[in-house]
Amino acid sequence: MSAELIHALEQIEKEKGIGKEVLIDAIEAALITAYRRNFGSAMNVEVYIDRLTGDVRVFALKNIVEKVKDPSTELSLEQAKQFGAEFEVGDIVEVEVTPRKFGRIAAQTAKQVVMQRIREAERGIIYEEFSNKEEDIVSGVITRFERKNVIVDLGRAEAILPPSEQIPGEVYNIHDRIKAYVINVKKTNKNPQIFISRTHPGLVKRLLELEVPEIHDGTVEIKTIAREPGSRTKIAIFSKNENVDPVGACVGQKGGRIRAIVEELRGEMIDVIKWSSNPEEYIASSLSPAKVIRVDTDEENKVARVIVPDFQLSLAIGKEGQNARLAAKLTGWKIDIKSESQLRAHIEQQLLNYNPDESETGSDEIEFEPESLFIVNTDFNTEEDEPENIENVNNEN
């Protein structure tokens, strides 16, 4: 050990950000273990490294007693007087016991400790870097598969894409570059575990922030996202500037902005919906691309009854109920969709069952008394007509 060690530790402090004192303290602790292993396990010792010269000295801590029973841990008062006249029985004195060949052991130990601390520090830096990226997007290259997990190289670390976070039907190949959403970073004894997702709604949100400047600068706000990964996503947006069309900003010229996101999500359909504080208007828009005639709401129970043209019923409900399901998730309302014919039949049946003689008791009232009524558009009669308040990205593309 020499001044070269101190110089090396100073360089590590500059380059790696690991404090010199932290390293010296760690080396001293490791040298205590090394001394006990090689020269005297029963001894209570301390190791000191000179901060200027790098010299290493070992001191045994011995109790001053009247009669010595264990020379490795005890010292007589007469012997202690050699180190200072002020010592008394019961005091502890440090006696240097540095072995002649301890320098070689010290050098090897110092190297091992420094390398270990560098690895620990680098793991800590990586953990901090990626824990700060939780709920953000990362980009990487697929390097291998472990069981059903996809391993992605992020440059300074590897990420795990578990089966539960993979888009159904999406094919992953080695060397493919993908973008994913960081859902969790766990600190371990080795490298941090970084878990990413391709199915999280946050992925769509971050992709929009990257593609749409108006979202990035806060002019346009994403209110909610409802997603069924690999199939369809609905996004409710709102403009804080009345001069900025939120849907147009997200779609982009000739659909360029939204198309880039659709391509990144391997063809997943995206409906961009204009958010409204009016529940009826918002619910009607959420069912895009279907056309809506009327929305009746029950505010207390958060239930909405939606009336659509007969030829729009299947579109409003969607394949296996997907469109209605996503609309309900987006708005937070339970949505009951009926066609005009179904509504007409329901009212006719109620009229047939209506008994004026019993109406005073309220036992046979006509049930359909909407708390709130919202008429969307009643001017269309053909499939070619399109209500003005509905925006659908997929139809535009």
Question: What is the model's pLDDT at position 298?
Answer: 93
Residue 396 near residue 255 (C-beta atoms within 8 A): yes
336: left (phi over 0), alpha (psi -120 to 50) or beta: beta
Dist CA 328 CA 317 (whole Å): 11
Residue 1 CA to its chain's centroid (Å):
46
Q: CA 322, 325, 331: angle at the middle one, nearest 5?
A: 135
Q: Cis before residue 289, ω within 30 degrees of 0?
A: yes
Residue 144's CATH number: 2.40.50.140
Instruction: Give the pLDDT of residue 363.
Output: 45
Rounded to an integer, what distance in angstroms lies between the CA atom of residue 73 and that of residue 64?
9
Helix (H/G/I), strand (E/B), else coil: 255? helix
- 226 and 240 belong to one structural domain: yes
Mark whether 167 and 109 lie in a shared domain: no
**Final residue before a domain boundary, out of 181, 199, 217:** 199
Residues 115 and 52 in one domain: yes
- Check residue 219 and give its pLDDT: 95
Question: What average pLDDT score do residues 209-216 get?
Answer: 94
Strands 269-274, 232-239: pairing kind: parallel
Q: Could you tell me if 331 and 371 lie in one domain?
A: yes
- Encode pLDDT of 101-118 as tens digits: 888 888 888 888 888 888
Query: Average model confidence (pLDDT) for the chain?
Result: 85
**CATH code of residue 15:** 3.30.1480.10
User: pTM of the entire structure?
Assistant: 0.71
52: closest CA among 94, 10, 105? Answer: 10
The total of structural domains in the chain comes to: 4
Mode of pairing for the β-strands spanning 334-339 and 193-197: unpaired
Residue among 246, 245, 228 nearest 237 (CA):
246
Claim to verify: residue 154 and residue 239 sit in the same structural domain: no
Q: pLDDT tens digit string along 219-246?
A: 999 999 999 999 999 999 999 999 999 9
Output the CA–CA distances (angstroms, integers) from residue 381 to 50, 90, 312, 314, 386, in the order listed: 92, 104, 11, 16, 10
Report the percent of the chain where pLDDT is more than 90.
52
Say how far apart CA 56 and CA 228 lie, in whole Å.
Answer: 65
Cα(82)–Cα(295) distance, integer angstroms: 99
Residue position matching structure tokens 């089966």: 163
Q: Are residues 43 and 90 in the same domain?
A: yes
CATH number for the domain spanning 290: value is: 3.30.300.20
By residue range, what is the domain housing residue 141?
Answer: 135-199
Contact of 333 with 305, CB cutoff 8 Å: no
